[in-house]
Structure 1
Amino acid sequence: MERNILTNFEFTKNIQIEAEKSKLSVTIFSAFIKDNAINWISEYLKDIPEVKIISRWTPQDLAFKASDLSSYGLCKQNGWKFGIDNSLHSKAFIFDSKTVLLGSANLTDRGLSLSRDGNLEMGTVIEPTIADLQRLYELEKNVTWMDDALFEEIKEQIDILDIEKPDNPSWSSALKDKLSPVVDYLWISELLHANPESFEWPDMEDLDIAHDIDLLSLSMENIRNKELIKQKFLSCREYRWFKQQLHLAEEGTYTNFGWLTDKLHNAILDDPPPHRVGVKKYASDLEKWVKVYANQEIKITKFERTSGYSLI
C-alpha cells in the first residue's frame, strides 16, 4: 500500500534510496546538523557534481551542541558547499530536482533515527512542480555560503562563548551583519502565529504558541525570558523582512497597516496562499511584536483606523 506520510524509518530509507539514485545534484536544508548524520549520508552520495548542505547554525545551536561546528570541515572534505541561514526552520531533502522529502526530521542522528534513541518524526515525499522548485531555490537567496575566513570568525566567537557562557549567546554586530542576507520571501511556517502577550502565561496546548516557541528556538526554561525573546525576534526572518520593506519603501509611500498586509500577502510563498483575513491576523500580530520588542528600531503611529510605521 502506497503511503503519503512516512514514519522515521521510511523517511530515512527514502533518503538513502534517493541519495543513491541521484546523479546531478542534492540540496539539503536542515536547521540542525550533526557529524554522524553527515558521515551517514556521505556513504550514499557518490560522484555527484553538486551537493549543498544548508544549516541554521545560530550561536545557541553551536554553543549548546545542537549542531556540530566541525560539519563544515566534513562537507568541505567531501567537496560539498556548506551554507548557513540563522533563521532557517525548514527541513527539505532535494534530489536531482525530481524528488523532495519534506518533514520534521533534521540531518542528525536523532532526527533520522540512526540510533535507537531517535526522535518520533514524520515526513512525506513529493515530485515537485516547477513552481515548487522555484520556491525552494528562493530559500537559497537567504543563505550565506561558508568559506574558511568566515568559519574561523564563527569558530573564534564560539570559543569565546564557551569560556564566557553568557545567558543569551549571540554573534557580534559585525558577524551578525555578515549572516543577515536580504529576506525577499516568507513561508507561513516562518511567521509568528501568536501575539507576544501569549508568552506571559503560555498555554502549551495552543498550537500557535507551540509553533512560535519552536520558531524562536525557546524552551520551557527560557520561554518567559523577555531579553532572550527580544533577541530572537529581532533576528527572525519575519522581522528582518519587515524592516527591509521599510528601508525599500519609496518616499511618500503610506507605510500603514494596509501596506503591510499587501506586502506580506505578496511575500508568502505557500500555495495556496492564506486568505486576506489570515494575512491581516499575521500582520496584526507582527505589529504587536514590534511594539513590544522593536520599539527602538521602528516607530508605530496609531491613527483612527490604521497604524503607520517608520524606521527610527
Structure 2
Amino acid sequence: MALLDEKQLRDRLKDLLPSSKRSWIYSAFISATAAEWLGNYLSLSSESRVLVRGRLDDVVNGVCDLNALKLLLEKGVNVGMSSALHAKIYFFDESVIASSSNLTAAGLALCQSPNIELGIEAQATASDVTIAENLWRQAVKVDLSLLQKMTDYVEGLDLSKSTEHLIWPGELFVEKRDLYCSDFPLEGSLDQPEWNRFELLAQTTAYRWLLNEVMKENVALSFGYLTKKLHDALYDDPLPYRSDVKQMLSSLLSIVDRLDEEKLQITRPRHSQIVSLRSLVN
C-alpha cells in the first residue's frame, strides 16, 4: 500500500479506468469537468457506477453538478444518490482506493490550483465488495427522467432566500437506507432546523423509521416496544447501550410531540409514552 496525492490518484485512475470491468466511484461531490474527464477514460459496462450525495443544498451550492450526472447517464453510467454519503472511494476489479479526493476538478488535480489530497490503494477484498454493494443497494437510483425533474425543481426555486437546509420534495427523493445513531437528535444537535420544523423533520430517516413502525403495526406502540425495535434496527458497530437508545428515542418523541400535528400523536398514560397514528385516535 502507498499514499497517493491528488496528481498520483489522477494518473492511477488513467491506468485503471480503461482496463477495468468494474468501475465504482463513490464521491460526495461531483463537477462537470471531472465527469467529462472520467467519461474519456472509463471503459463502460453494466458495472460502471457513480454514487454521489446529491442533497438539494449540494446542488444549489454548486458542489453537486446535475449536468455532470446527465453527462454520465448519457454515456451509460449507472448513477445513484445517498444523502449521508461522505466517503470517496474508487473501486476497480482488483483494487480499491480510499481518498479524500472528490470527483471534482480540484479533487483530481484537473485544474491549476487543486486541493491537497491524500488517499491509499489496497487490494479489494470480499468484505470491501459487500460494503460498497450495500451502499449502492440503498441509494436512490437516478435516470434521465428523474434528473430532469430535479433540474426543473431547482430552476423553480427562489434562491434569494436562504439556501441552507434545503431538501428534495418527497415525490423526487425517497430514501430507504440503514439506520444509525447519527440519524437521531443527539445532544449538541437539537438546534438544527430538522428538529425544529415539521416539514424537515418529516424527511429525516429517524422520523420515517418511527412512522413506518407505527403504520406497519397499525396500533398504538409503547416506548418499551419501540426501544427494542430501534435497538434491533441500528447498524452501528458496536451497538449503543440500551440506555443510550432510550435517550435517542425519548429525544425524538419529544420533538414529534412538539412539531407533528398531522400524523403521529404522543400520549402519556401512567407516566409511559404511547405513539399512535392520529387517524386511529381521532
Q: Where in structure 2 are the equivalents of 1:233-252 lying within 5 Å?
A: 233-248=201-216, 250-252=217-219
Q: Deviation string for 1:65-96 (max 9, x for gaps)?
A: 221120122202332011234x3333242524
The letter of the residue matching 1:180 is: V
Please tell me whether Structure 1 or Structure 2 has the larger radius of gyration of its CA atoms: 2
Cα pair distance change 1:63/1:246, threshold 3 Å = same
Structure 2 residue identity aligned to 1:276 = R
Q: 1:128 to 1:103 in 2, by over 3 A?
A: same
Give TM-score scaled by structure 1 length.
0.69
Q: 1:242 to 1:72 in 2, by over 3 A?
A: same
Quick one: structure 1 residues 116 and 89, their matched pair in 2 at CA, closer, same or farther if it must change by over 3 Å? same
1:277 paired to 2:256: no
1:46 and 1:291 map into 2 onto residues whose CA distance is: 52
1:107 pairs, out of 103, 110, 113, with 103
- What residue is the counterpart of 1:64 in the other structure? 61
CA RMSD in angstroms, aligned pairs only: 3.8
1:265 aligns with 2:231: yes
**Which residue of the partner structure matches residue 89 of structure 1?**
85
How much does 1:8 deviate? 5.7
Tell me: CA distance 1:154–1:134, structure 2 relative to 1, closer, same or farther (3 Å): same
What CA distance in whole angstroms lies between the structure 2 residues aligned with 1:164 and 1:33? 21
Q: Percent identity?
A: 24
Separation in 2, partners of 1:122, 1:243: 41
Distance 1:137 1:47, change over 3 A: closer
Match of 2:174 in 1: 180
Distance in 1 (CA, whole Å) between partners of 2:67 and 2:48 is 17
**Superimposed CA distance per residue, residues 132-179 of structure 1 (whole angstroms, 9 cap, x where no aligned partner):** 544443333433322232222222221111x6644465545xxx2242
User: Match for 1:286: what amino acid?
Assistant: L
Match of 1:308 in 2: 274
SS, match of residue 26 in structure 2: strand
Contact 1:91 1:105 in 2 (8 A): no
Within 5 Å, give how 1:108-123 maps onto structure 2.
108-112=104-108, 114-115=110-111
Query: Could you say if the C-alpha distance between residues 146 and 193 of structure 1 is closer, same or farther in structure 2, counting changes exceeding 3 Å?
Result: same
Deviation by residue 1:91-141 (Cα, 9 ceiling, x = unmatched): 242524755445665333345565465556666666666555444433334
Shift of 1:301: 1.9
CA–CA separation in structure 2 for the residues paired with 1:151 and 1:193: 33
- Please state whether the residue corresponding to 1:74 is helix, strand or coil: helix
The CA distance in 1 between the partners of 2:234 and 2:226, in whole Å, is 12
Partners in 1 of 2:241 and 2:120 — Cα distance?
25
Q: For 2:59 and 2:174, locate their aligned partners in 1 and report how far apart those are by CA, in whole Å.
A: 17
Q: Is it true that 1:23 corresponds to 2:16 in the alignment? A: no
Between the aligned partners of 1:156 and 1:298, the Cα distance in structure 2 is 32
Instruction: Please state whether the residue corresponding to 1:108 is helix, strand or coil.
Output: coil
Q: Any stretches of 5+ residues in structure 2 without a counterpart?
A: none
Residue 24 of structure 2 aligns to a residue whose secondary structure is strand
Secondary structure in 2 matching 1:150: helix
Of 11-20 and 40-49, more deviation after overlay is shown by 11-20
Q: Distance in 2 between matches of 1:103 and 1:294?
A: 41
